Amino acid sequence: MWQNLIETLDKLGGAYDDLATLGEKKRSALVGIDMKGLSEILDVEQLITAKIQKLEQKRVDVLKNLSKADKTLNETTSTKDFYRKAPSLAVEKKLLQLHMRLSKNIDRALTLRNNNQVLAQCALDAVQGQLNMLSGAAVEPTYSGKGAGVVTHQKNFDFKA
């Protein structure tokens, strides 16, 4: 079972590394306003996140099975204490190494995701501004009850004439 945990953590670390690499490509696509490339990236991202979900469920199952085998382990046991119960020092070191890699990759993927969300919101705001300009909309110097700007559209045609 410990070997299953090692393999699962290794695969999870790789999947999060792939997700972070994809996040860097997504950033380039957002900055370059490459919508086709962004669409392809999002498709691949869905596959990777589905893979991560499966691996995460497998990791939870393996941890549950290991905790059933050793009654001193439970949900409140820290990760490092859990790894200390490994059958050998080499397995414990490998688990700690994989855990550190996984934590690093998760942090990297989350940072890239957050930065990409800001870029995407800025791109959407720029598109909205262009659409407002094209439609002759004006933003009033007041705000709505929800804190958003009030946009009015000028009439370009009088249909009653």
Per-residue confidence (pLDDT) for residue 86, from 0 to 100:
77
Residues in the chain: 161
Question: CA-based angle 28:43:13, to the nearest 5?
Answer: 80
Nearest to 29 by CA among 120, 105, 127, 110: 120
In whole angstroms, give the CA distance from residue 61 to residue 110: 24
In whole angstroms, give the CA distance from residue 43 to residue 70: 41
In whole angstroms, give the CA distance from residue 97 to residue 106: 14
Yes or no: say if 13 and 53 are a contact pair by the CB < 8 Å rule.
no
Per-residue confidence (pLDDT) for residue 50, from 0 to 100:
94
pLDDT block averages, 10 residues each, the chain of length 161: 87 91 87 83 92 91 81 76 81 88 90 87 76 66 61 57 53
What tokens appear for 69 in the block? 């085998």
- Number of helices (H), then strands (E), belonging to the chain: the values are 4, 2
Question: CA-based angle 103:42:50, to the nearest 5?
Answer: 55
Cβ atoms within 10 Å, residue 60: 11
How do strand 137-143 and strand 149-153 relate by DSSP bridges?
Answer: antiparallel
Per-residue confidence (pLDDT) for residue 141, from 0 to 100:
59
Per-residue confidence (pLDDT) for residue 44, from 0 to 100:
93
pTM of the model: 0.70
Domains delineated in the chain: 2-124 (1.20.58)
